[in-house]
A and B are shown apart, each in its own frame.
Chain A
Amino acid sequence: MRWGVTWWAALAALLAPVSARAADGDLLSPNVLAISGDLRLVAADGEASWLHEEFGKLRGSGSRDASFRVKPELGSVDLVWQPQVGFAWSATVVGTLQGGERTEAGLSEAFISYKPMRRQKLRFSARAGLMWPAISLEHGGADWHVLDTVTPSAINSWVGEEVRPLAIEGTLGTQAGAHDLSATIGVFAANDTAGTLLTLRGWALHDRKTLAFHRQRLPPLPELLEYSQPQFTTPLLDVAPGFAKHPGYYAKIAWQLPVPVRVEVFHYDNRADPEAVNEDVEWGWRTRFDNVGLVARVGPAIEIKAQAMKGSTLMGFASPDRLWIDTKFSSAFLLATHTIGKSRVAARVELFRTRNRGSLVTTEEDEAGWATTAAYRRDISDNFTLLAELLHVHSKRAQRTLEGFAPAQDQTQLQLVARARW
């Protein structure tokens, strides 16, 4: 009997903090659920979209004769669940349905966040799970939506496609006078194929995200690569045996100056083995890149954002002295926004290129291009936003001639979007 009482007392003592924590938590109330989404009208000309295993750069495709085609579309719907336990722990899980020319549903992000109470001069936070590293200056919110335009830049479109690993990261921040500095280190797995889509399709501009475990189809492959690469890539994949056995890493430094200017430097290395291959013949692509970002407020209502990215990817064996794939990629954009009351206009210009010096993917797959984007956004209420965006992209890729197309292609796309969130 005495032992029984002690056992119950011990159990009660053990459970007391648990129940206190549960009382602090909010796991499934309406407060931790949010839904956002958009309906849109897309008018595009030019090539068929890359979604159809073609070289088109946009989410929309022109008609058969490449003239304008207008289509109403479901853009995307994101269901966001952000349970909280206590004041330091929370999680973010985002389920996404994407419409348009390929309908698919799945998981966008799933990670745990830890943010303890800061010290006077020092703050720390950490995340772990499936998440986009903080590279994009154009995305925000738990649903990782595009802030100023409908379509993100080529850089951040690619981040949405191929740079969302399973990661654990920590961020340390401090204030020194009017300066604010933060440093982030992340270690990650399951991002061994990053660079495949960028090399074999090239850059693209769209707001579709690669959903977890989904494949991305590839355009016609270079002839020499046809038997060495499937017609798809799986961006969330560990190719080498043993999950997280050979993790990649990223690091970021962000500096907020006393003037309204923020500078960010980001480095990524997936440390994939270029000779590793799995049973689906998906290879390790050793991808490294640096990204520099700048946000500056140049007037009470004018903001400038800019990013520049430069990197490389390697895949396969040396034959005879060059690896199968040895690609260098780079892109940069400049985005200016002007806020007038509840309206905001945005203009963006960007350049992009890839340069191939491998033995199987060569100069024929080189790409160079530019794009300009103009967008208008009006917040109707806290829940509704209307957007209109006009985008023009020009790109040149000699590989198109093998498919019977001119190497230089132009595409224009107009999108009218009604976005809602609750």
Chain B
Amino acid sequence: MPRLMILLLAFVGLVSPAQAAPFTVRVVDVSGRPVGDAVVTVRPAAGARPMKVGRAFTVTQKNLQFHPFVMVVPAGATVSFPNLDSTKHHVYSFSPAKTFELKLFAKDQSRSVRFDRPGVIALGCNIHDSMSAFIIVTDSAWTATSDSKGFVRFPDLPGSAAAMTIWHPYLRAPGSQISRPLPAGETSEVVAVRLRPPPMHDMSGY
């Protein structure tokens, strides 16, 4: 009987459990300061919709750093790695989701890698140990990176119950991620995370 009522109300437009609505997450640290570069993934109970592979994805190497530091791409995306530095880079990943090695000559040389399996790809450069970045390959359209104020906004999250995961390279948790259930109809959430200090690198520069 209650189920019939819900269906009836949904029909008249008063309640719509699956109706998409904006959803905002703010990621902060334990002191309340915003946390950027956190990846928020929401998977509705009814199943996640895959992200479209349409656009081009790029991780550049400039001033001996990867840009961006954290990037979300859909499973099946191809990412290009242009080298804008005047020195060579030897980009690699040993992550289970994708193991690869790219030799990039100085200035403007670009190679591409296709990422099919969802997971976290940790990037490094064999020549410059201090270079580090992450690609998050996702199977959910509701995956995004927090901005410098800690905000992630999804304009069209289904209103049904969902599971939310937050990942950050320095998050103090197994796999650097935490999960929490998201009740149906939630429109905003603040998540406090504990972060490790970023790693130090040997500065001798040999």
A residues at B contact (CB < 8 Å): 24, 26, 29-31, 84, 87, 113, 115, 117-118, 120, 125, 127, 134, 136-137, 139-142, 147, 254, 256, 258-262, 295, 297, 382
Q: Does B196 contact A (CB under 8 A)?
A: yes
Report the Cα distance A259→B92, complex, angstroms: 25
Residues of chain A within 8 A of B101, CB atoms compared: 117
B residues at A contact (CB < 8 Å): 63, 86-88, 90, 92, 94, 101, 103, 105-107, 126-127, 196-200, 202-206
CB <8 Å contact, B197 and A260: yes
Known A84-B88, A87-B90, A113-B206; 8 more pairs at CB < 8 Å:
A87-B103, A87-B127, A117-B101, A136-B204, A141-B205, A260-B197, A295-B200, A297-B200
**Given A134-B206, A140-B204, A260-B200, do A120 and B127 touch, yes or no (CB 8 Å)?**
no
Report the Cα distance A261→B94, complex, angstroms: 25
Which one of B94, B127, B206 has the highest number of Cβ atoms from chain A below 10 Å of its Cβ? Answer: B206
CB <8 Å contact, B200 and A31: no
CB <8 Å contact, A26 and B106: yes
Report the Cα distance A125→B126, complex, angstroms: 11
**Given A87-B126, A117-B126, do A260 and B205 touch, yes or no (CB 8 Å)?**
no
CB <8 Å contact, A258 and B196: yes
Give min CB distance, B92 to chain A, whole Å. Answer: 7
Residues of chain A within 8 A of B204, CB atoms compared: 134, 136, 139-140
Report the Cα distance A30→B198, complex, angstroms: 34
Residues of chain B within 8 A of A382, CB atoms compared: 63
CB <8 Å contact, B86 and A31: yes
**Given A87-B88, A87-B90, A127-B206, do A256 and B200 touch, yes or no (CB 8 Å)?**
yes
Residues of chain B within 8 A of A142, CB atoms compared: 205
**Given A260-B197, A260-B198, do A140 and B203 touch, yes or no (CB 8 Å)?**
yes
CB <8 Å contact, B94 and A120: yes
Report the Cα distance A113→B177, complex, angstroms: 38
**Given A127-B206, A134-B206, A260-B198, do A117 and B92 touch, yes or no (CB 8 Å)?**
yes
CB <8 Å contact, A297 and B197: yes
21 A-B pairs within 8 Å (CB atoms) are namely: A26-B88, A31-B86, A31-B106, A31-B107, A87-B103, A87-B127, A113-B206, A115-B126, A117-B92, A117-B126, A118-B92, A118-B126, A120-B94, A125-B206, A127-B206, A139-B204, A140-B205, A142-B205, A256-B200, A259-B197, A260-B197
